[in-house]
Amino acid sequence: MLGPAVLALIGVTVLVTSFISGIFGMAGGLILLGVLLLFLDVAPAMVLFGTIQTAANGWRAALWLKYVDWGIVWRFIVGSTVAFAAMRSVALLPGKATIYLGLGLIPFAAYVLPKSLTPDITRPGMPYLCGAFILVLQLLAGAAGHILDIFFQKSQLDRKTIVATKAVTQVAGHGFRIAYFGSFAAAFDTSIPAWAYVAAIALAVTGTTLAGQVLMRMTDDGFRIWSKRVTMTVAVTYLVRGGLLLLP
């Protein structure tokens, strides 16, 4: 059973990271997953992480429901479903260094691509590709919120539509995550009390609600600038982590 101090630390992390994700629609999950993996094995950490993120993103989607671009959402889900079926039938597990380096390089590559090739989520067919790509990254690398953000940053969508639409797509992604990792027997970790799931969901909803006030006051330009800064910071962190894993 996890001790009170560890559970308290996880609770604070859930609140803070839900607040961060509530503003930018990303980044908070990366921090939360890192903390959970300090105390839990991969499968139970992923199931708990998926549960918390489903609650946070689900509540965020409810708060901004009228701004959701459903055309993007259903195409994204189709792509994710195809990728999920493929991942369930093919056992593919690359090394950690490869994963970290790939996730670190992708955001930089997206910014140097010619405009005609940039991953804009509003381009025809792009939601299908995005859904499949993000789902694979979520299952192999644990989190891909900063990669998903690249597809939205290059679009002309306003900040409210971006946050709302991303929230719905992430709910679907975390649902697939729970189904995938929940199929392993190790996912059922008795060290996590049942009430901890309920408390984590409540904290996630609270952090998401508080973030809404900040997002309302932020301009579209400010949102894009800070969103890009957060994405690049996460990318650099991944590159450093991948480089360290390559060292003997």
For the CA atoms of 190, 194, 198, 199, what is the dihedral angle to 10 degrees?
-70
> How much is the pLDDT for 177?
85
> How much is the pLDDT for 132?
93
Distances (CA, A) of 128 to 97, 121, 122, 147, 246: 27, 9, 11, 15, 33
Hey, CA dihedral for 151, 155, 160, 161, is it positive or negative?
negative
Rg (CA), the chain: 17
**Does residue 56 contact residue 21 with C-beta atoms inside 8 Å?**
yes
Q: How far apart are CA 245 and CA 175, in angstroms?
A: 30
**Does residue 107 contact residue 147 with C-beta atoms inside 8 Å?**
yes
AA letter at 31:
I
Q: Digits of tens for pLDDT over the chain (248 positions)?
A: 677 888 888 889 888 888 877 776 666 777 787 778 778 877 788 888 888 888 888 888 888 889 999 999 999 999 999 999 988 777 555 566 776 777 677 777 766 766 666 678 888 889 999 999 889 888 877 677 767 877 887 788 887 888 889 889 989 988 998 888 876 655 566 667 778 888 888 988 888 788 777 777 777 777 777 777 877 787 788 788 788 878 87
